[in-house]
Amino acid sequence: MVAGPERHESFFLRAIAALADTDRRVLIAGCADYGMLELVHRAFVHGRFHPTVVDRCPLPLMMCAWYGAKTGLRVQTELADLAALGASDHRTGGEFDLVVTHSLLRYFDAASRRQLFENWFRLLRPGGRVVTVTRLETGPANAAVAENAEAFGRLARQRGAEANVDIDPGRLERWAVRFASAGVGEFHEVGTIADVVAGFESAGFDVATHDVISIDGMLSGDVAVPAAARSALYAEIEAVRP
Q: Give me the chain's average pLDDT, please.
A: 87
Q: What integer pLDDT is reported at residue 138 of this predicted model?
A: 54
The pTM of this model reads: 0.88
Q: What is the mean pLDDT of residues 120-130?
A: 94
DSSP labels, the chain:
-B--GGGGHHHHHHHHHTTTTS-EEEEEE--SSSHHHHHHHHHTTTS-EEEEEEESSHHHHHHHHHHHHHHT---EEEE--TTTTT-STT--S--EEEEEEES-GGGS-HHHHHHHHHHHHHHEEEEEEEEEEEEE-SS-TT---HHHHHHHHHHHHHHHHHTT-SS-HHHHHHHHHHHHHHTTTT------HHHHHHHHHHTT-EEEEEEEEEE--SB-TTS--TTB-B-EEEEEEEEE--
The predicted-structure confidence for 57-114, as pLDDT tens digits, reads as follows 999 999 999 999 999 999 999 999 887 775 554 555 688 999 999 989 988 999 999 9
Residue 178: other Cβ atoms inside 10 A = 11
Residues 5-140+185-240, CATH architecture: 3-Layer(aba) Sandwich (3.40)
Q: What is the pLDDT of residue 225?
A: 75
The pLDDT value given to residue 216:
83
pLDDT in tens, 152-161: 889 899 999 9
The pLDDT of residue 184 = 61
Neighbours of 163 (CB within 10 A): 8
Whether 185 shows a pLDDT value over 80: the answer reads no
CA angle 62–6–73, rounded 5-degree value: 40
What are the residue boundaries of the structural domains of the chain, listed by start? 5-140+185-240, 145-182
Express each pLDDT in 23-49 by its tens digit: 999 999 999 899 999 999 999 987 789
Distance CA 57, CA 64 (A): 12
Range in 18-22, 90-94, 107-111, 234-238 with the lowest mean pLDDT: 90-94
pLDDT digits (tens, 9 = 90+) for 161-178: 999 999 999 999 999 998
Burial class (CB in 10 A: 0-12, 13-18, 19+), 140: exposed
User: For residue 141, is pLDDT > 50?
Assistant: no
Taking Cα atoms as reference points, which of 68, 61, 74, 65 lies closest to residue 31? 61
